[in-house]
Structure 1
């Protein structure tokens, strides 16, 4: 067992072995647990062993969102991984503690492609309110106002990437300077779980991206055409952007920080709780279907690898009432 695993997981896998589970089953469990552990370290941007007692419900939700929207895993695969994590939690509970208690709050996806509920996408009114709010300084404290100019355009651009281009949280997190072509108004999305695709940015979005980029002080600014991250972490105490001495470059903004930013912007806009990057992506996909985009074209645009991936959206669009369509696409 590699040292990056907490000791209790090794104990759990040994228990499975003693119970006579097949080697192939144990290897599958081990792989799933390694995958979750590696994702968590990347999300927190740490190489240290993570105390699983500190894992939050939000992090688990982000992990399953990554499996669904980022990697396009089959629902059965996601349910299996959910089951593995839940069994680990139950094992710890049998010993008198629970290292992964929040997993009990996360429901696995249904095997059937049930339509999205209306809470899983934004109405036209909600989109307008969110974008108007994120561009304003409404509700900011005096302390927040001191640094808002650094990341205002960053926040707006990030929201628009989810809402107007259908990018996943993982895709936005992984954007580096090699992926953005200011001179061509273009983003190149090229992560390993989906075919590479080029996205043409609207002129206003290119300007947002470039304004944010130039707001970063030159000593810590990402270098053009480099592997430096595009979205850089902000140090609110020092009132400047983070520099990673380990990487000798700007520090990438974490997935957790991105989701926290969006949650705070939703709260500032006084919208309902539960709106996430996935909610914005759902909205983008539904709009495209409602407006007549073909399945093949949509699959290419959003980076899916199979028509099965959009089955739930097709089912949703088919079951939407005229009133729901009007609220979505006014």
Structure 2
């Protein structure tokens, strides 16, 4: 499906033609631009023309996250799409038009197979500090303290699903009641044709059930339904959101999950940059340190090729003893 692009997109394509770019190259660029536009319209649930100045950093991160984790695009493809979007932003700036600041500033996705840096995982101390803060009212206003008991367990569960089970942002966001099997302590995770079952420990199963029961019954997700499991909270009304359009609880968006994690990291006085991917990285590295087989780990985290684990395996093999001790965060 094609969408009406802002006029500057057509001007940019015309500029490429004027410079003598091959028709195959221009066709490829148009495909990439259309792909991003389709994703953006779908994410915002609109068919109206979108002002690209309004595109946020979070939306760009989610887009590239989908290319990497859900579509499993090749490194070269993702870098090309990133380059196309950056060139559009540069073109706008070069002709003195309104700047596309978020696109201009977006860093290229981490796609190379170099070793992970220490900033790309969290330590045991950081994990403990984060969970301590998630359970406390430290740094909250009186108004926030009033609503804190409603969403506290939800937020803790989200972080534990990233850090202790290696789920992706997309997977946590997509969880529905059909995927929650309380009687077996299991979560079903579907990724394209691949389906895997995550076995929760008893503590986390109880946490998941306690969060579920915290949601007031009139807006609570229904058992064995497509109702979302991770529900958005309405701070103004001091209850969980209900979507009247869909006649079900409102799913917590990926952007809202990212924001929640950033807020909690800041409240815990931890370093900037800790994200869902950081927590998933920690799970993968600390699980590899337990010397389980690559095949078993691939099954747990939903990878389909050993190449996806190479960067993590090489990183673990390079770690020093003190780094290994600091890394064992998924036992926190």
| TM-score (norm: length of structure 1) | 0.91
Aligned residue in 1 for 2:145: 145
Return the offset for 1:40: 3.5
For 1:139 and 1:46, how far apart are their aligned partners in 2?
37
Q: Structure 2 stretches of 5 or more lacking a match?
A: none
On the 8 A contact 1:90/1:98 being kept in 2, the answer is: no
Cα–Cα, structure 1 residues 35 and 328, in superposed 2: closer, same or farther, change >3 Å?
Answer: same
Query: Would you say 1:274 and 2:277 are equivalent positions?
Result: no
Cα–Cα, structure 1 residues 5 and 217, in superposed 2: closer, same or farther, change >3 Å?
Answer: farther
Aligned residue in 1 for 2:113: 113
Return the offset for 1:27: 3.7
Aligned residue in 2 for 1:54: 54
On the 8 A contact 2:3/2:37 being kept in 1, the answer is: no
Aligned residue in 1 for 2:308: 309
Return the offset for 1:110: 6.4
On the 8 A contact 1:44/1:254 being kept in 2, the answer is: no
Q: Which moved more, 1:290-299 or 1:159-168?
A: 290-299
Aligned residue in 2 for 1:325: 324
On the 8 A contact 1:70/1:168 being kept in 2, the answer is: no
Aligned residue in 2 for 1:135: 135
Matched residue of 2:164: which SS? helix
Return the offset for 1:281: 0.4
Return the offset for 1:20: 4.7
Return the offset for 1:123: 0.6
Aligned residue in 2 for 1:220: 219
Q: Which moved more, 1:105-114 or 1:197-206?
A: 105-114
Q: Structure 1 stretches of 5 or more lacking a match?
A: none
Aligned residue in 1 for 2:247: 248
In the TM superposition, what whole-angstrom CA distance separates every residue of 1:117-158 from its partner, at most 9, and x where no partner exists?
101100111111111211222222110111111111100000
On the 8 A contact 1:4/1:49 being kept in 2, the answer is: yes
In the TM superposition, what whole-angstrom CA distance separates every residue of 1:224-262 from its partner, at most 9, and x where no partner exists?
211111111111111112222222222111111000000
Q: Which moved more, 1:146-155 or 1:237-246?
A: 237-246
Aligned residue in 1 for 2:182: 182
On the 8 A contact 1:72/1:304 being kept in 2, the answer is: no
Return the offset for 1:95: 2.6
Return the offset for 1:14: 4.2
Matched residue of 1:104: which SS? helix
In the TM superposition, what whole-angstrom CA distance separates every residue of 1:238-296 from its partner, at most 9, and x where no partner exists?
11122222222221111110000001111111111110000000000001111102111
| TM-score (norm: length of structure 2) | 0.91
Q: Which moved more, 1:219-228 or 1:17-26?
A: 17-26
Matched residue of 2:298: which SS? helix
Aligned length: 329
